[in-house]
A and B are shown apart, each in its own frame.
Chain A
Amino acid sequence: MNEVIEQKISTEYKYGFVTDIDADSAPKGLNEDIIRFISAKKNEPEWMLVYRLEAFRHWLTMDEPDWAHVSYQKPDYQDIIYYSAPKPKKALKSLDEVDPELLKTFQKLGISILEQERLTGVESRVAMDVIVDSVSVKTTFKATLAEKGIIFCSFGEAIQEHPELVKKYMSSVIPYTDNFYAALNSAVFTDGSFCYIPKGVRCPMELSTYFRIEAAGTGQFERTLIIADEDSYVSYLEGCTAPMRDENQLHAAVVELVAHKNAQIKYSTVQNWYPGDKEGKGGIFNFVTKRGICMEENAKISWTQVETGSAITWKYPSVILKGDNSIGEFYSVAITNNYQQADTGTKMIHIGKNTKSTIISKGISAGFSNNSYRGLVRIAKGAENARNFSQCDSLLMGDKCGAHTFPYIEIKNNTAVVEHEATTSKIGEDQLFYCKQRGIDNEKAIGLIVNGYCKDVLSQLPMEFAVEAQKLLEVSLEGSVG
């Protein structure tokens, strides 16, 4: 079996190519001048610059965290380019005006905007905000959304057009003091997505953003803010790919979600950034802070993530259950292969009464990789009748990888019911042979077994992306299991 695993592991990253877009970059390094440069480039108001500078000054006092179960050479933060924008010649009004190089890039990824737009006209309804490096290039379907009063635009645009909303909500869930990477992001973020769903509106389509890290040596620091006002609903999907690079690239995003009374936010991520090569060279460092707050009663936030890429993943999409009867969910599939390392999980903070949370985490490790689940369930003193169910499963492929589970449970109210289940299993020789004996070869068998294992999570993804995610699992596992 080891032979087969090794053969599978040797499959190269399929999305590695470099698009030649004339970049407009800041010099390497980080200081107040660079932050002023970014802010000026983006034509930002004074309050934004002040916020960035405060964040930067705070960041200088912080240390890079080292408690995660990952090991890597810490990035030299002075050796990174913090701003790089592809040069759009003018404001883009239609897809025809989009840089053809960029469209080609998307075609290679199999997510051409044209196709998305065509599909949208017929069956699926997906609005997409495309981010190449730091600047949002194209936002589709804005008009359709505007009719409903939905705001879906780049973060930069939101700062210009909706400063009152940005001021009110930005940093309200994740203050820059939260952690090292959040502080860094707050100081240097270049763009991202902004979404506001007004009271009583059910967003009629899936909102989707594809992130892509293009220029060599640039860190990407996007910032996403989604606000669902009372009685509203939105489903949002974030997909990521990065071209192949030798040096490690840093990615430190911040995503904040705010769900008001009776509102629901469903946030799904499919992440397949470059994981590095077979020897563990290169790949993305993905240090992301994602958190949502159920502000008032009956709010609901669901995180679904399919994580197959990045060399290092450090990511804990969390929910603060502040409103009574609010619900938090976390569904995760994390695959690591070769020398990838992932330390991922969630935090469910129960504050309101009758709050409920569900955590389903499926880790798959192959090659020489390490995959850790780290989760916190905290029941605050006033959280009467809080409920949590956690299930953390690990699947091992081969005998050179590792799976770890770090559950933390803090309960300050004795009416709480908290359940935790954990399993570790291996794709065994026996399972593979059983499949073979029925005429199913290794490749197919692994796909079958892994998809079965991840079923509970994949079924949470919006239809449009479930198939893509399933394909992605198989591709990742082409390089991952015997």
Chain B
Amino acid sequence: MLSIKNLHASIDGKEILKGINLEIKVGEVHAIMGPNGSGKSTLAAVLAGRSEYVVTDGEIIYNGQNLLELEAEDRAREGVFLAFQYPIEIPGVSNINFLKTAISEIRAYKGLDPMKAKDFLLMLKEKEKLVEIDRALVSRSLNEGFSGGEKKRNEIFQMAMLEPKLSILDETDSGLDIDALRVVANGVNKLKSKENATIIITHYQRLLDYIIPDFVHILHNGKIVKSGLKELALELEEKGYDFIKEEVEA
């Protein structure tokens, strides 16, 4: 589904990603871990198409397409979803209206008519239940005045509504208490299927207690320095990032 080869990217002339290689197959969950400043969020931003980041080398092939040639909105329409580390507030625009617009745009891109109001409402109901989110929250202005936890839940709700093929969760666990963490993780687990893939970007191991990854990659200084199975996350938790740094620098 996703093939990243020798990806180099920089911002304001400073190179952050220094040759990332990553293969993700449909149905898989990959965790990308790493210390602060290792390039985790940059990788997410580059995948989603943030224009401040300049790709200087390498390629990203997504379902046979050159992802880097697609505009950010077209990547979204092709099924790339980013759950933001810091979701954005848009005052006066209801969550529902936002999602309706997004779904219409995605459908229009695929040559489909807008969803019928009735079908949309049914879907809304079903997904609210699935990710355990309150209608009250869904009806409010987009993320406006939401708590940190509510914002993260809302990201997962949007993910449920848009049914992406590739979901990238950027530090979704940050700022969550243990109950919220469990709810968010449950949502992600329920949305996981054989038709989609998930990238979980996280600093800590604890989210991986709830969402079991198939593969774990450790990012350090703009490169994936170690890949392994889920046990790698536990090892990392135990030994800390210093052990990786020592291993790499040795």
Residues of chain A having any CB pair with chain B under 8 Å:
425, 428, 430-431, 433-441, 444, 448-449, 451-456
| Contact A436-B87, Cβ < 8 Å, known A448-B97, A455-B92 | no
Interface of A is mostly: helix
Please, how many angstroms separate the alpha-carbon atoms of A435 and B77 in the complex?
12
Contact A440 B92 (CB under 8 A): no
Contact A441 B105 (CB under 8 A): yes
Contact A439 B88 (CB under 8 A): no
Nearest-CB distance from B207 to chain A (Å)?
21
Which of A434, A436, A437 lies in contact with B90, CB distance below 8 A?
A: A434
Contact A431 B73 (CB under 8 A): no
Residues of chain B having any CB pair with chain A under 8 Å:
48-50, 71-73, 76-77, 81-82, 84, 87-88, 90-94, 97-99, 101-103, 105-106, 109, 141-142, 158, 162
For A423, the closest partner residue in chain B by CB is B91
Please, how many angstroms separate the alpha-carbon atoms of A454 and B92 in the complex?
8
Please, how many angstroms separate the alpha-carbon atoms of A288 and B150 in the complex?
47
Contact partners of A454 in chain B: CB under 8 A: 92
Please, how many angstroms separate the alpha-carbon atoms of A420 and B141 in the complex?
23
Contact A437 B97 (CB under 8 A): no
Which of B48, B91, B94, B142 lies in contact with A437, CB distance below 8 A?
A: B48
For B168, the closest partner residue in chain A by CB is A437
Contact A448 B90 (CB under 8 A): yes
| Contact A431-B90, Cβ < 8 Å, known A438-B98, A440-B105 | yes
Please, how many angstroms separate the alpha-carbon atoms of A431 and B55 in the complex?
23
Contact partners of A433 in chain B: CB under 8 A: 50, 72, 88
Nearest-CB distance from A419 to chain B (Å)?
19
Contact A439 B87 (CB under 8 A): no
Contact A444 B101 (CB under 8 A): yes
Contact B93 A434 (CB under 8 A): no
Nearest-CB distance from B138 to chain A (Å)?
15
Contact B88 A431 (CB under 8 A): yes
Further contacts, 17 of them, CB under 8 A, given A437-B73, A438-B99: A430-B88, A431-B88, A433-B50, A433-B72, A434-B84, A434-B87, A434-B88, A435-B73, A436-B49, A437-B72, A437-B81, A438-B98, A439-B77, A440-B101, A441-B71, A441-B105, A452-B93
9 contacts between A and B (CB under 8 A): A425-B91, A434-B87, A435-B102, A437-B48, A437-B82, A437-B84, A440-B105, A451-B93, A452-B90
| Contact A449-B93, Cβ < 8 Å, known A436-B72, A437-B48 | yes
Nearest-CB distance from B152 to chain A (Å)?
14
Contacts across chains A and B counted by CB atoms under 8 Å: 75
Which of B73, B84, B92, B141 lies in contact with A439, CB distance below 8 A?
A: B73
Please, how many angstroms separate the alpha-carbon atoms of A434 and B88 in the complex?
7
Contact B91 A438 (CB under 8 A): no
Nearest-CB distance from A5 to chain B (Å)?
14
| Contact A437-B93, Cβ < 8 Å, known A444-B101, A452-B141 | no
Contact A444 B105 (CB under 8 A): yes
Please, how many angstroms separate the alpha-carbon atoms of A58 and B49 in the complex?
64
Nearest-CB distance from B136 to chain A (Å)?
18
Contact A448 B101 (CB under 8 A): yes
Please, how many angstroms separate the alpha-carbon atoms of A389 and B55 in the complex?
51
Contact partners of A439 in chain B: CB under 8 A: 73, 76-77, 102-103, 105-106, 109, 162
For A454, the closest partner residue in chain B by CB is B92
Contact partners of A448 in chain B: CB under 8 A: 90, 93, 97-98, 101
Please, how many angstroms separate the alpha-carbon atoms of A444 and B158 in the complex?
18
Contact partners of B81 in chain A: CB under 8 A: 437
Please, how many angstroms separate the alpha-carbon atoms of A53 and B71 in the complex?
65
Please, how many angstroms separate the alpha-carbon atoms of A259 and B13 in the complex?
65
**Which of A433, A439, A441, A452 is most buried by chain B, counting CB atoms within 10 A of its CB?**
A439
Contact partners of B72 in chain A: CB under 8 A: 433, 436-437
For A449, the closest partner residue in chain B by CB is B90
Contact A437 B98 (CB under 8 A): no
Contact partners of B142 in chain A: CB under 8 A: 452
For B94, the closest partner residue in chain A by CB is A452
Contact partners of A456 in chain B: CB under 8 A: 92
Contact partners of B103 in chain A: CB under 8 A: 439
For B76, the closest partner residue in chain A by CB is A439
| Contact A452-B91, Cβ < 8 Å, known A438-B76, A439-B77, A441-B105 | yes
Nearest-CB distance from B145 to chain A (Å)?
14
For A450, the closest partner residue in chain B by CB is B92
Contact partners of A428 in chain B: CB under 8 A: 88
Nearest-CB distance from A455 to chain B (Å)?
4
Nearest-CB distance from A120 to chain B (Å)?
28
For B102, the closest partner residue in chain A by CB is A438
Contact A440 B102 (CB under 8 A): yes
Contact partners of A452 in chain B: CB under 8 A: 90-94, 97, 141-142
Please, how many angstroms separate the alpha-carbon atoms of A451 and B92 in the complex?
8
Contact partners of B97 in chain A: CB under 8 A: 448, 452
Nearest-CB distance from A243 to chain B (Å)?
33
Contact partners of B158 in chain A: CB under 8 A: 438
For A362, the closest partner residue in chain B by CB is B92
| Contact A453-B92, Cβ < 8 Å, known A433-B50, A436-B73, A437-B72 | yes
Please, how many angstroms separate the alpha-carbon atoms of A158 and B133 in the complex?
61
| Contact A438-B92, Cβ < 8 Å, known A433-B72, A444-B105 | no
Please, how many angstroms separate the alpha-carbon atoms of A430 and B92 in the complex?
16
For A433, the closest partner residue in chain B by CB is B50
Nearest-CB distance from B204 to chain A (Å)?
24
Contact partners of B82 in chain A: CB under 8 A: 437
Nearest-CB distance from A48 to chain B (Å)?
47
For B141, the closest partner residue in chain A by CB is A452
Please, how many angstroms separate the alpha-carbon atoms of A452 and B93 in the complex?
5
Contact partners of B90 in chain A: CB under 8 A: 431, 434-435, 448-449, 452
**Which of B48, B82, B105, B106 is most buried by chain A, counting CB atoms within 10 A of its CB?**
B105
Contact partners of B71 in chain A: CB under 8 A: 436, 441
Contact partners of B73 in chain A: CB under 8 A: 435-437, 439-441
Please, how many angstroms separate the alpha-carbon atoms of A329 and B102 in the complex?
35
Nearest-CB distance from B157 to chain A (Å)?
12
For A427, the closest partner residue in chain B by CB is B90
Nearest-CB distance from B134 to chain A (Å)?
21
Contact partners of A444 in chain B: CB under 8 A: 101, 105
For B80, the closest partner residue in chain A by CB is A437
Please, how many angstroms separate the alpha-carbon atoms of A375 and B170 in the complex?
45
Please, how many angstroms separate the alpha-carbon atoms of A431 and B88 in the complex?
6
Please, how many angstroms separate the alpha-carbon atoms of A454 and B142 in the complex?
15
Q: Which 3 A-B pairs have the closest CB atoms?
A: A452-B92, A452-B93, A434-B88
